[in-house]
Structure 1
Amino acid sequence: MCGFLVSTNPEHRGLCFDTALRLMQHRGPDVVGNTSSSGRVALGHNRLSILDLDQRANQPFIDSSGRYSLVFNGEIYNYLHLARQHDISMRTTSDSELIVELYARIGPKMLDELNGMFTLVIHDTLDDSLFVARDRLGIKPLYLYRSDSGVLLSSEIAPILSLVGSLPFDEFALRQYRKMRAFFNGRTPYSGIEMFPAAHWWDGTRFHRYWNLPEGEQQIPDGDELRELVTSAVIDRCISDVPVGSYLSGGLDSTIVAGLAEKPDTWTVGFETSNEFDHARTAATAFNSRHTEVLATVEEFVPTCEQMIVDRREPLSVPNEVLLFWMTRQVKTRNTVVLSGEGADELFFGYDRIFRWAATSEWNLEEFSRLYSYGSHQDLEVVEDALAPFLCHERAIDIVGRFFQIAHLHGLLRRLDNSTMRCSVEGRVPFVDHRLVGRMAGVPFQQRMPGGVVKAPLKAVFADLVPESIRNREKIGFPVPLAEVDFPGTSSTLTPMDRWLQYNLQVLTGGGWEDTSSIGGNTRTQEATG
């Protein structure tokens, strides 16, 4: 929906603040550079208009009393229901207005009632305080920088670096990326910049958790309940005042989403020698959708990858992030919202090899690292750190399940946000609806993969929707022929995935960082985990 920037540093005003905000105008090209300041707080917002295209819905949005000012990124799907429930008289049809008016009435408790994806900052002009919050599962990003001079909050890293100047790289975070192609536990590539935690709000002093995954074992939803949960999640995410499209990889998850949506435009991407076009066509034909195939080229891969890293000041996660970006550039020609299937593999244990191991074995860090890690570097310390929040569980399946549903998912969501918002398109993820995620938490492995069949519950419930040839095929996603890509400055003795990781870090750091931990002894056949 947008990109916002907030500062409590009095030096961050005027031209330098405006310049930093415009570094992410791609997140909100419809209204660029809206700012306001009061007391110690400066708020800036770039708007991508999705709901209520009228200028009255522009941000910063001020409540009817004039006390609270809001900047917000995301969508609240039940905002009209909440307005009726709380008898809020709306001046607009914008979810931004609902948020700030509901906060004025019930304060932080309003987070319990929001169904959607969001990061938000509310400035109380009466006492000059801030209220900051992020959605339950971390769908929308928010970066935080704290110093003695004040606080910076931003939807992307680049504006923060623009205001504070260069920051040292976080060596541990870079090692973690080199091993696991992601950052965990709030880390970013830079010392001093942290990712605001999901499911938390912050008053400027303390973080408060407002939601947890339910604990304890529970039975899987029956067919009717599961179908209703998934269907309502998709329908909610079709709420928009602009056209909605849907990614269609030819796999189970994206096919379910596209099939449940109201005939969206469908989009797929691939290389001439490596693609899933036939399967995507099968689904598009079944749904009678207006379908577009985007053709990628190996020659453009490295230049695009480099530019993406430079623009966002972060390494990319997996190679198909470049494909998502290429596809979304074309999506923007017709759609401003796109649906995607992220989250289904984490909920329904779609990564069968690692989940089968976890369900039948005792916990072993080295074995997990062998099965999960992308890079060949031996660096168990960073793997253990990524798993730290989940090691309180005893069984391997509980550790691995929670890790995928929370930590691994965060990396996929960051990939989607970066790829879509760079093209001024909002990505929505029905399988990451918190009601569906909460209902599936605690469902035993045997019920998620009965008979060892990957995602059997989804296949059974949506057998009438998904063509049989798609239901029974292996997960692939948007494949990249990585062995055909020449990453300059990388060693030809490395595996294609290691060269990919090395190249990302090389571009990010200007070639000034090298992981000295050993390589080897941990090679594997890469499983499609995103």
Structure 2
Amino acid sequence: MCGIFGTLNLEIANQASEIFNGLAHRGPDEKGFTIKDNVELYHTRLAIQDLSPAGQQPMHHHGLSIVFNGEIYNHLELREKYQLYAESNSDTKTLLMLFERLGMKMLEELDGMFSFALYDQRQKQLFLARDRAGKKPLYTYQKDKDFAFSSELNTLYQIFKPEIDESSLSAYLYLGYHYRKATPYKAVTELENGHYLKIDTQTGKKEIVKWFDMSTCYLNRSKMSYQVALHELDQKLQTAVKRRLDSSDLDVGSFLSGGIDSGIVTAMAAMHKPSLRTFTVKIEGAYDESLLAQKVADRYKTNHTVVDISFDDLKDDIEKILINYGEPFCDSSAIPSYYVAKAAKKHVTVVLNGDGADELFGGYRRYVPYKYHDFFNAGGFSKIAAQTLLSILPVANEKKSKYNYIYRLLKFASYKDILHQYSSASSDIFVGFENQFLQKPNLTAIYEDLGRINQLHLSPLNKLLLMDFQTILFSGLLPKMDIATMAHSLEGRSPFLAKEIIEFVPGLRDDFKINCLSTKFILRDLGRKYLPAELIDQPKRGFEIPLKNWVDNQLKNIIGDYLFSNNTIYPSLIQKKFVEDLWVRKVKISEERRAKILFDVFALEVWYKNINNTNKKPAFSRTETASTLV
């Protein structure tokens, strides 16, 4: 895993030390730099494949130069298929040879996670590309004729100081993440998953190409029987796991929760690698999955470590954790992800995980009703009925309760607007409080995308799964794990996001995913082959984050200091009175949602003060503090 940076028509080699410092956590082992014509390429390396000097970057081959971040797990298979030969076993070298043979059509062959910049000196063309799911980040900066790209938003900001985009920040507050191409800056965009950018380096002409479209995988409906599908899934997932073990010259470990996703991955990995290192999180005050994880570890005789997370140091670490993202980021599960990655790095440099399984197979409870009813196109009567019931029911406060599930079901059934409905079913932060915004959120892109998906000839369940793949997985969940792991120079690998799995699972019948009330049915069935019986019917939990407790206790003072200082940005975006009323519980809202909104705004302020060069612990000049509002 690595960090990449580059420019076109800019001469900034005198700032190389700043660039390398900004990318160092992504690649602490080596750094490299080259200038070819009007293109500058920078690279920091986390050496995992081909640890010899032949694997160093930028890498050159027959007039081609590349800086590459990621792993191509099937690259040796592709060398054999296309009869490519090189002394180095580097997957980066394979990319250069494949490009020489196939051009950018090579992307369709790759099983891997990647972002890269490839300069063809012969044709004077620069290509930037990302993988199917968007596992590895890539941001571009464009102002007039100046162009740059980077793995890190923080590094782009440090070098170019782009102007803040307030409408994008409002959209972040509303959604809880920056949607797809959006960033906090006017001159910076994110290259989307399954896309590449082609630039003529002489004329500056640019073309964005969508080389992979997830919707085609859903439209390609499978007619195979259940037993055939189960067998195919088993074989494809075994291949994905084995590739991710074999494509490393370092030890590979595995995150192991008490759930079926990481359990199956771990079981398959342990069959290929004796004494596999496994890591389970045990969170103080949350449901303890370590006992279930231990059963898997015992069955496969893994070298198992239980990571106890107490959050005693959270108030000292929270700013550092959030600043790593380079943009406002409010998913509180980033916090335990950070700590477990830190613990795993003490033992391994590469770790497997179960990312993507829930969004592909239907792992969340909210998917169940969409299997049986089209909430996106429900009639007016059902919406009025849902609104009426909500008006007389008490607010749901217990996140995991059956009542909360029913209450949220009524909420997203009550909305006529597709974005309100989708956001209510997923992030559920500012839905219903749109009148509190002073700066209108820029939500055009997500409205258009959700509307387009809703017009596809897909079942309601598959529409929701596709929406989640394109929204919360790409814009929230994958960046969360990428930043959490790379903050500690740890590489995370996701077998469920393998080429063959992504292309196979969407086309399966709905009842293979949701069967009666059972989520990810076929995956649970596969789990019966590999896992102890106690794990199979366990509900989806994920990291059980005590956010309400944090907001009211460990983080109360620091959140209050940030929200009620003189130097805040959120009052230009939303009504400050609304935040003040939330703080003193004058808004009719569940405790869980209150905590989410306050943390959402807090994450914005941590980002804002960081880019304004505040100290780690700001010396606020307060006109009113959190305590004066209690």
Same fold by TM-score, threshold 0.5 exceeded?
yes
Change (3 A) 1:266 1:348: same
The question of 1:141 aligning with 2:137 is answered yes
CA distance in 2, matches of 1:151, 1:125: 17
Match among 332, 337, 352 for residue 324 of structure 1:
337
- The Cα of 1:312 is off from its aligned counterpart by 3.4
Matched-pair contact (CA < 8 Å) for 1:244–1:265? yes
The DSSP-based 3-state class of the residue aligned with 1:92 is: coil
- The Cα of 1:353 is off from its aligned counterpart by 2.2
Structure 2 segments unaligned to the other structure (5+ residues): 200-205, 377-415, 435-440, 564-582, 586-590, 613-630
Aligned to 1:225: 232
Cα deviation, 1:266-298, whole Å, max 9, x if unaligned, reads 112233222422222222222211111222223
CA distance in 2, matches of 1:235, 1:383: 41
> Which deviates further from its counterpart, 335-344 or 406-415?
406-415
Aligned to 1:26: 25
CA distance in 1, matches of 2:301, 2:447: 44
Matched-pair contact (CA < 8 Å) for 2:64–2:120? yes
Cα deviation, 1:460-483, whole Å, max 9, x if unaligned, reads 122021111111111111222112
CA distance in 2, matches of 1:402, 1:19: 39
Cα deviation, 1:145-173, whole Å, max 9, x if unaligned, reads 112232111111111112112421x2233
The DSSP-based 3-state class of the residue aligned with 2:25 is: helix
Aligned to 1:408: 472
Give the partner amino acid of 2:281: V
CA distance in 2, matches of 1:391, 1:218: 25
Change (3 A) 1:316 1:512: closer
CA distance in 1, matches of 2:98, 2:69: 17
Aligned to 2:381: none
CA distance in 2, matches of 1:69, 1:154: 16
| 1:283-362 alignment runs, 5 A limit | 283-357=296-370, 359-362=372-375
The DSSP-based 3-state class of the residue aligned with 1:407 is: helix
Change (3 A) 1:379 1:217: farther
Matched-pair contact (CA < 8 Å) for 1:28–1:48? yes
Cα deviation, 1:458-510, whole Å, max 9, x if unaligned, reads 11122021111111111111222112212422525372222221211121123
- The Cα of 1:299 is off from its aligned counterpart by 3.2
The question of 1:46 aligning with 2:44 is answered yes
| 1:45-84 alignment runs, 5 A limit | 45-63=43-61, 65=62, 67-84=63-80
Aligned to 1:433: 498
Cα deviation, 1:385-442, whole Å, max 9, x if unaligned, reads 4353242234543431211122221121111111111110111111111221111223
Aligned to 1:7: 7
- The Cα of 1:106 is off from its aligned counterpart by 2.0
Change (3 A) 1:369 1:311: closer
Matched-pair contact (CA < 8 Å) for 1:21–1:159? no
Matched-pair contact (CA < 8 Å) for 2:66–2:119? yes
The question of 1:482 aligning with 2:547 is answered yes
- The Cα of 1:30 is off from its aligned counterpart by 0.7
Aligned to 1:158: 154
Aligned to 1:523: none
The DSSP-based 3-state class of the residue aligned with 1:424 is: coil
Matched-pair contact (CA < 8 Å) for 1:40–1:128? no
> Which deviates further from its counterpart, 455-464 or 89-98?
455-464
- The Cα of 1:217 is off from its aligned counterpart by 2.8
Query: Superposition RMSD on alpha carbons, in Å?
Result: 2.2
Matched-pair contact (CA < 8 Å) for 1:359–1:445? no
Matched-pair contact (CA < 8 Å) for 2:362–2:513? yes
Cα deviation, 1:238-263, whole Å, max 9, x if unaligned, reads 12100111111211111111111134
Give the partner amino acid of 1:171: E
CA distance in 2, matches of 1:232, 1:136: 18
Match among 260, 285, 291 for residue 273 of structure 1:
285
**Where is the helix percentage greater, Structure 1 or Structure 2?**
2
- The Cα of 1:117 is off from its aligned counterpart by 1.0
Aligned to 2:113: 117
Give the partner amino acid of 1:3: G
Change (3 A) 1:461 1:88: same
The DSSP-based 3-state class of the residue aligned with 1:462 is: helix
Identity %: 28
Aligned to 2:170: 175
> Which deviates further from its counterpart, 107-116 or 390-399?
390-399
Aligned to 1:206: 207
- The Cα of 1:194 is off from its aligned counterpart by 0.9
Aligned to 1:98: 94
Change (3 A) 1:303 1:73: same
CA distance in 1, matches of 2:295, 2:92: 39
Change (3 A) 1:27 1:225: same
Structure of higher CA gyration radius: 2
Matched-pair contact (CA < 8 Å) for 1:178–1:377? no
Match among 247, 259, 277 for residue 255 of structure 2:
247
Matched-pair contact (CA < 8 Å) for 2:368–2:519? no
Aligned to 1:372: 426
The question of 1:107 aligning with 2:167 is answered no
Change (3 A) 1:459 1:126: same
Aligned to 1:424: 489
CA distance in 2, matches of 1:379, 1:77: 46
| TM-score, structure 1 normalization | 0.91
Aligned to 1:452: 517
CA distance in 2, matches of 1:317, 1:270: 22
Change (3 A) 1:290 1:42: same
The DSSP-based 3-state class of the residue aligned with 2:529 is: coil
The DSSP-based 3-state class of the residue aligned with 1:74 is: strand
- The Cα of 1:512 is off from its aligned counterpart by 11
CA distance in 2, matches of 1:358, 1:222: 19
Cα deviation, 1:101-151, whole Å, max 9, x if unaligned, reads 111222111112111111111112234421111111111110111122321
Give the partner amino acid of 2:210: R
CA distance in 1, matches of 2:610, 2:69: 34
Matched-pair contact (CA < 8 Å) for 2:258–2:289? yes
> Which deviates further from its counterpart, 345-354 or 438-447?
438-447
Matched-pair contact (CA < 8 Å) for 2:352–2:493? yes
4+ residue stretches of structure 1 with deviation over 4 A?
379-385
Task: Name the count of aligned residue pairs.
Answer: 508
CA distance in 2, matches of 1:202, 1:512: 28
CA distance in 2, matches of 1:348, 1:90: 39
Aligned to 2:579: none
> Which deviates further from its counterpart, 485-494 or 450-459?
485-494
CA distance in 2, matches of 1:294, 1:120: 34
- The Cα of 1:376 is off from its aligned counterpart by 3.8
Structure 1 segments unaligned to the other structure (5+ residues): 514-530
